[in-house]
Structure 1
Amino acid sequence: MTEKKSPVFFFAPFVSSMMRVEPAWIDYNGHMNMAYYHVLFDRAVEEGFSLVGLGHDYMEKRKASFFAAEVHTVYKRELKMHDRVRVTLQLVDYDEKRIHYYMEIRHAGEGWVAATMEGLSLHVDMETRKVCPFPEDIAANLAVMKSTHSRLARPQALGRTIGIPLKAEAALLASSTRH
């Protein structure tokens, strides 16, 4: 079933509403526990992708949603109690069943990046619980978002791998940063 098509407009990148680090999220180290970075990312994903039609109403009315398949998070700077943040979301790519996106949690007042997250989500039929293609109207909205976001620079952190660099790579990296 295809919903009536309405025009969509996207800022590049999408910027979430203001969010605040809650006292219950602070761990014994005195900063926000790593799990709550994902709460902030998840809230921003909901907010951002609801603009293309993938919100709670979509799941209720059309019996489909999108599920996280893979995420890669980099923690760059501590967040502390009551810090206010905004999360940016950039649609990197999509195909008939997947969306690939990049996000940054930024301190709302000072602008520094607290964490980045690269994600891949799958479109799922909620009745069969299987991956399925996006409906035409959602795919069209994703195309508009992608077109707008393709004007942004490709995030340098995309496709990062995790691991301890080999000594030779570390020495090469160290010598290249001295120049």
Structure 2
Amino acid sequence: MPALITYQTPVLADWVDYNGHLRDAFYLLIFSYATDGFMERIGLASDDRDASGHSLFTLEAHINYLHEVKLGEDVQVRTQILGHDRKRVQLYHSLFKAGSDEVLAASEQMLLHVDLAAGPKSAPFGDQSLEAMRLLVRAQHDQQAPAFVGRVIGLPK
């Protein structure tokens, strides 16, 4: 399967810091928009969320900043499903300069499916979302395991 591109954007002037590169907070913004793109792929787009009252909440997110990203660069996020169960999905977003295979940043995320009308509270994915994720996992079966999965922060001892 070709890469699952979930978001693409130029780096905007408001996103650049005093060092001339993408401010750390805006990496998370870009990855958040990529999660929205993923949600569209599994039947949780805005209209679907409004109709069903279901959405995804981020439980945990880790970001690895690997290379500088400059003003005006066109970047894209490619998303891989690492795993899922009835209520959660583990995603790996990789940020690339559009047209390049060099990873600029990566974010591993754990997301929870929620019923907004019931609380919000956790709820099983609907059949449509589960099937869409199964199809994506099958299509991504030949992709390599991402380099920064499961990392934790710590100083060497």
Q: TM-score, normalised by structure 2?
A: 0.93
Answer with 1 or 2: which has the greater Rg: 1
Could you tell me which runs of 5 or more consecutive residues in structure 2 were left unpaired when the two chains were aligned. none
Larger mean Cα displacement after TM superposition, 89-98 or 48-57: 48-57
Aligned pair partner of 1:151 in 116, 126, 142: 142
Cα root mean square deviation, aligned: 1.3
Q: Which runs of 5+ in 1 are unaligned?
A: 1-10, 167-179
Contact 2:7 2:30 survives alignment (8 Å)? no
Matched, 1:22 2:37: no
- CA shift, 1:153, in A, is 1.4
Counterpart of 1:6? none
Alignment partner of 2:63 out of 70, 73, 86 = 73
Structure having the higher strand fraction is 2
Aligned counterpart, 2:128 = 137
SS at match of 2:77: strand
Alignment of 1:56-135 (within 5 A): 56-127=46-117, 128-135=119-126
User: Counterpart of 2:126 in structure 1: which amino acid?
Assistant: P
Q: Which residue of 1 aligns with 2:22?
A: 32
Tell me the number of residue pairs that the alignment of Structure 1 and Structure 2 aligns.
156
Equivalent in the alignment of 1:177: none
